[in-house]
Structure 1
Amino acid sequence: MPRCSKLRPVPRRWIAPLLAGLLLASLLRPPSPPPPPALAVRSLSSASAAAGCPAFRIGLGDDPGRLIDGDDPEAPPVLAALRPDLVVAWFNGYRDPASGTVRGDLLYFHHWAAAGRFAQWAAQGYDLMIITWENYDGQSVHYGPPTRGDYHISSQFVQDVRALAALLSAYPRTVYFVLATEFSTYPACRYDPACADPLAYSDRYNATTAEYYEALIPRLMEAMAAIRSEMPQAQVGIGFGGWLATFDVNTPAEQAGRSLIRLFHPLIAQSDWIFFQSMIGRLPHENGGLGNPDQIQINVEFFSAYGKPIGLAHYNAGLPGHERLDVMRDDLLRMRNPAWIREMWRKGLRMFAFMAYGPMKYNEDGIRDLAVDFIGRSRAALSCAYLPLLRR
């Protein structure tokens, strides 16, 4: 991992021009937008989360056991090539087919703890990110029937994340929790069990979905408190669908898109990070001009007003196992631009996590090489000498 190099003394004859340049830059630079009104912002609460030489902390998923320990022998070469700062694990909610109750899959985490893997991963220098999700529409056959959004509003969810935080409480490196990623999709089949028109209930707060969000927000508050009670050093936030920042509906009858995000101000205020995802599986010209780099930029610009570190919790070119490599190639070619990297850093992006290592296993279309190049450029784009000028 790159380290900050020591700064050389500045020659005395340079001091006056340097100060003049800094003064001019400060006068010309547009002011940062203020945080939204009436929001008690927890500022960039962790110096280690916001600082450091790499432009972004790089994450890699989707299974630390496969990546680091070689449970999948084709995974470690990807890990060695990308050299991520953190590894990503998913904590999934499901409905027990026998009892009909909802619960979280803690089995993997108990297995890893019993095998001493957490200690090994920490000793190898990896931070850990836990993303919670639920099988809301039954898309994962492994996890059985749809939860229809019941898990994240249940007391069982709070019990489960408390147990998970207790299990990880001795982890000596940073642990990030991304709660309820893509939560605005969870009501999709709640009010239409056949899921015939899921968009009618996704991403919107109205007379129908109000009961769900009014249960979800306080439950996520409880979950944050439960995690911190067991693991005060944890870095916690909620996970927004990246598409929400790309549109807005704000009428007396309905709030959707950005206005739905604004309903979560109390949670954002208590969060250490703001997390979002980007998983567009189409090229820009197939998607009204919007590709993943565009969606990422829109999210970072929107969330920058909160003054918190921003994390891209899971990037992928489509659903896992159904990625379009031509999309990922186009994304990486665009995002490797140092100007794009610097702009995202300036506006608060501090983490970039690849959702899955699968697309890079065989280096088809040079995807792994491009990912390595993107990471290398992100780490070289900003030196420690520039951090005082670019940090908030």
Structure 2
Amino acid sequence: MGMFKRPGDLVGGGLLLLYTATICAVALVYPTANWDLIAYVATVLEGDGLLGHDMHAQTYAIIRNNVSDGEFLVLTADRAYRIAQHTDPDAFISMLGFYRVKLLYVEFAQFLTQATDPVTALRWVSAISAGLFGLMALSWLAGQRCLAVAPLAIIAMMATGFGDLARVATPDLFSSVFLVAGVLLYIQERGLSAGIAFVLAILARPDHLALVGVFAVMCVVIRPVSKGVILGFIAGLAASIAISRMSGHPGWWVQMWFTNVEYVPTLEGFDPAFSVLVYAKIVVQTVVRSLVEQQWPAVLLAELFVLALMLRRNFAFERRETVALASLFVAIPAKFIVFPYYDTRFFFAYLVAIAFILITVYGRQASPVFFSAPPPAPQEE
């Protein structure tokens, strides 16, 4: 009970634990069967030595045994692309370069297959990631003596799609554990640990290199410089290049085209020429989809507004918090420009890390009276 020093700490910390436990349970009991689940099952089987058409057949057999009839129909016959992947093993195998690059995510799932099947293993990765993320948030708030404002952290996690991420078989939440940990470790002046966490985030999802690169630059420009973060960026960049080459990733522009222009049935021989006009169209379409379909632009604007309000009211930010916030706010548009994504899940780690920092700065300096112990009653003379 050492971390629960005020009545509000017990309430806030208890609510955060309850919310985390609920999400973990939902992730296991009511998981979502997205198409990426099929591809990640295949990459796990490849790691076990199953290749070619046998791997394709085994992948779909495992999926069939772990999803409902309706889900299997959607995953295999919902559109022409999914039909082609189900019926053409060579076309399916050509897509796996997109998924092999998430090396740490696939390796962890493969490790869990020693005790269960690949689908269940991938779902356990999501549930474990959700649990670790919630415990990390609890530990961070406790260390900052801000457990009383933990309900604000819960709101931030809900607004950024934490629950949805826990239900899908993607590396987004898994990699976010490492990325957000790296940010918080840097603020705690643990640079080497932060650098290691950043490398692990890149190994789980290479596009997090965008934030780590911006972070390394901001450390130098704003200071204090962190050798751990800079070394983490260098190591992450080298690892990302090596993994991309070894995994057979088709390249930036092919993935950009495939994701935003056309789901071609196979990547064999597919090599569209780069076009500035096509790129500009992709950016415009992605901006529109983000504004119409997703919540991350609203969360980003809300965080910018809160930051401006806190600065106007003279909330004090420590130097490392300034570096972290500047890096996170710059990395979001930088990542969007390099590869326009519209889905909120691609920005979850950045947005929730910003929220955690703002919440702790508020919690340290505002001391909400509604979570504090009541003042003693006046004594009659």
* TM-score above 0.5, yes or no: no
What TM-score, normalized by structure 2, do the two folds share? 0.24
Query: Greater strand share, 1 or 2?
Result: 1
The TM-score, its normalising length taken from structure 1, stands at 0.24
Give the number of the structure whose residues are more often helix, by fraction. Answer: 2
